[in-house]
Amino acid sequence: MAKALRSLGHEVEVVSLVPLDAGQEDPKRDSGDAVRQSLVRRLPFAYEFVQFAYNFVGLPLVFSRTVRSRANLIYERYALFNFSGVITAWILGLPLILEVNSPLAMEQFREKEIRLHKLARWAERTICRSASRVIAVSTPLSRILQENNVPLSKIEVMSNGVSLDEFQPRPATLGLRERLGLKGYTVVGFVGWFRSWHGLDLLLEAFHKSNLASGSVKLLLIGDGPAMPDLKNYVEKHQLRESVLFTGPVKHADVPDYLDLVDIAVQPAAIEYCSPMKILEYMALGKCIVAPRQENVQELLREGEEAQFFKPWDAESMTEALTNIVLHPEKARQMGQQARQAIDKRGYLWSSNARRVTEMAEKMMQLRNHGKK
């Protein structure tokens, strides 16, 4: 979003304690949880305390940088218990647009990272209600925020986007294809961190049951993460070593090169309220997509046009979807082309999102200036 806003001619001052390129040059480092995070999560109420304590660093940092840069707008990615943005916006009388990717009060309680659920819901509600505008990345997420008494009038549903400068269809790298032993094979692929909620165990089960490995089909899993040992054990147990390839951690800049090898891209599972970046990247690269039939995914893809859907968390349904699309390669190619076209038609671009944010900001500033007269 910062790059897209700059491309429109806006000056952008980024305020963050974490480098923007964290993990992009050293993906192995970020494929799991940091030791300090794991320790904090085990201590009762420690995670809540650490997140709230960020305000003592974040507030003076955000406030000073906002004043120094003479900002007209604060655009913030929502973080639980972080009041730095809303307090700075209130003191300086600036509009604040809050991008919400997850209902963190619900998510972190569900993942047992926090225990003070009611306090977390209050913080989330207060931060969202204090923002001038809230961007929810999916309709299901918008409903969750409304259930927490965030007014619908404040919410704008806007999916994540993709940058075509980074993700463009291009010929697959022959050397990489040969090195991985994929020459002459149809490649089913996934890219991302290997965590339990990504459903990679389901993908392996579906691939095994489909018996596609007996033909000229291979499964390429791009990335790394905590689920890797279990996935490798499954591959060994079911004698899939020759048909399932693990690339290990890949730098963000190299991901398109690996995705170029993929003929059919899979989103095995998706959290019900997210806006899956993988799907948008698959679409930008013109890949036929196999994904779960659920509302937030259906907001991005049209069944039978750009994607083959399956029943969420159902290995039999995924097996059927994979088999159907592999056996119809011309249909798969057509779906990939239509997926790429949908990126432009529906504006799934960071540049399009930046324009919408700019329009929102201009309207809010006009109203503010009118009120001063």
Q: Do 153 and 186 reside in the same domain of the chain?
A: no
Please check whether residue 213 lies inside any domain of the structure: yes
Q: What is the mean pLDDT of residues 179-186?
A: 91
User: What CATH number does residue 111 fall under?
Assistant: 3.40.50
Please check whether residue 169 lies inside any domain of the structure: no
Q: Do 357 and 227 reside in the same domain of the chain?
A: no
Q: Do 135 and 183 reside in the same domain of the chain?
A: no
Residue % of the chain over a pLDDT of 70: 91
* Residues contacting residue 1 through CB under 8 Å, at least 6 positions apart: 75, 99, 350, 353, 354, 357
For residue 28, is pLDDT > 60? no
User: Can you give the residue range of the structural domain that contains 332?
Assistant: 174-345
- Residue 34 pLDDT grade (very low, low, confident, very high; cuts 50, 70, 90): low
Q: Do 62 and 142 reside in the same domain of the chain?
A: yes
Q: Using one digit for the tens of pLDDT, what is the confidence trace for 231-263? A: 999 999 999 999 999 999 988 888 888 999 999
Q: Do 93 and 36 reside in the same domain of the chain?
A: yes
- pLDDT for 69: 94
Count of domains forming the chain: 2
What is this structure's pTM? 0.89
Please check whether residue 167 lies inside any domain of the structure: no
Q: Do 210 and 246 reside in the same domain of the chain?
A: yes
- pLDDT for 372: 62
Q: Do 201 and 143 reside in the same domain of the chain?
A: no
Please check whether residue 168 lies inside any domain of the structure: no
Q: Using one digit for the tens of pLDDT, what is the confidence trace for 331-365? A: 999 999 999 999 999 999 999 999 999 999 999 88
33 vs 362, higher pLDDT: 362
Please check whether residue 360 lies inside any domain of the structure: yes
41 vs 354, higher pLDDT: 354
User: What CATH number does residue 267 fall under?
Assistant: 3.40.50.2000
For residue 18, is pLDDT > 60? yes
